[in-house]
Amino acid sequence: MRYGKIHGALMATPALFLAVSAMASDINNLKSLSQQQFKDFSRDLTSALSYKAVEPATNLGITGFDASLGVSAVRMKNSSIWQKATGSDVGFLPIPKLQISKGLPFGIDISGFYTAVPSTNIHLYGAALKYSILEGTAVTPALAVRGTYTKLDGVDQLGFDSKGLELLVSKGFLGITPYAGIGVVNSNSSAHLPAPFALSSVNQTESKVFAGVNWNIVLGNLALEYDRTGNNDTLSAKIGLRW
């Protein structure tokens, strides 16, 4: 894949998703929510803002590197609550992100990402650590365990962070690597409101399943993934360089 084509796709991928996704507004009206609504709102946040690596189990190796630009489109189950919290109808939340992964010794990969969600005050960053249990061969799959962390920034009325643990498996075929995994996500949401308004913090754990495919051509890389965390569905895509 030529550099020009890769560069063009990098620019086009987020624009394509944003064009078909409903845009949101700032989260700035949490005082209008009841405690149950804040809990349901936090469930959506857990799915939307938890880590989505969009990578196979295959270890990058000590010289390996992955740099990509991608986007996740998350379906909101509680759009009426988002309407109250933001003043906008949010059916889908588009989350573009810049992500980098690096292979380390002893079968370890480390990665991180950053995003600023368009038309919102949501800024999010995260990190992940993946350990290769089985490196995989020509006939056997790769197996890995991954720990993840994300933290919200930029929203004065809301504090949020998530921690996840995942088990994933993948098997490559001529540059195409299907993968799948299961995991859990634990999140903490807290509302920062002036008196007399008050909402109790919410701590919850959601299960997740995901499956995707990673495609490598020379140094070019494209990955697509479906994720279901709790009751929310997410479609993700990323494109970049991987070796």
Q: Where are the domains of the chain?
A: 3-242
Q: Please say if the pLDDT value at position 182 is more than 70.
A: yes
d(Cα 47, Cα 35) in Å, to the nearest integer? 19
Q: Which residue has the higher pLDDT, 21 or 220?
A: 220
pLDDT (0 to 100) of residue 185: 98
Q: What is the mean pLDDT of the chain?
A: 91
pLDDT (0 to 100) of residue 6: 36
What band does 50 get if pLDDT is binned at 50, 70 and 90?
very high
Query: Model's pTM, two decimal places?
Result: 0.88
Check: CATH 3.20.10.10 for 3-242? no
Contact 242/66 with Cβ under 8 angstroms? yes
Q: Please say if the pLDDT value at position 195 is more than 80.
A: yes
To the nearest whole percent, how much of the chain has pLDDT over 90?
Answer: 81
Contact 176/199 with Cβ under 8 angstroms? no
Query: Span 182-210, mean pLDDT?
Result: 97
What band does 174 get if pLDDT is binned at 50, 70 and 90?
confident
Backbone angles phi, psi at 6, to 5 degrees: -65, -45
**Cα 137 from chain centre:** 28
Least confident of 9-23, 46-60, 127-141, 219-233: 9-23
